[in-house]
Amino acid sequence: MTAGFVEVLFEGSLRRFEIKGPISLKDLLEDLHIKESSPYWFACNRKMILRTEIDQKMIEPGDRVEIFRILSGGSEG
């Protein structure tokens, strides 16, 4: 198992977290205290991750995870 860092972009802040090898996106979110049900979209290395894939998506050292807040809105009529 190789230790390394993963970059996480969350709420406008880019941080590096050390991981000791591949971990699931679900485990990374738990470490960041982000619930799966939170209003966010997730991407890894610029590819969107479906909520149904969170358990299976493995994050490896050198990856970049982006967490986007879901916003709603519309136009005034």
pLDDT tens digits, 17-76: 999 999 999 999 999 888 877 788 999 999 999 989 999 999 999 999 999 887 766 566
pTM: 0.82
In this structure, the dihedral spanned by the alpha carbons of residues 16, 57, 62 and 21, taken in order and rounded to 10 degrees, is 90
Q: Which two tokens stand for residue 55?
A: 């358990």
**CATH class for the domain made up of 4-66:** alpha beta
Q: Which two tokens stand for residue 12?
A: 């406008």
CA geometry: angle 30, 27, 70, nearest 5 deg: 60
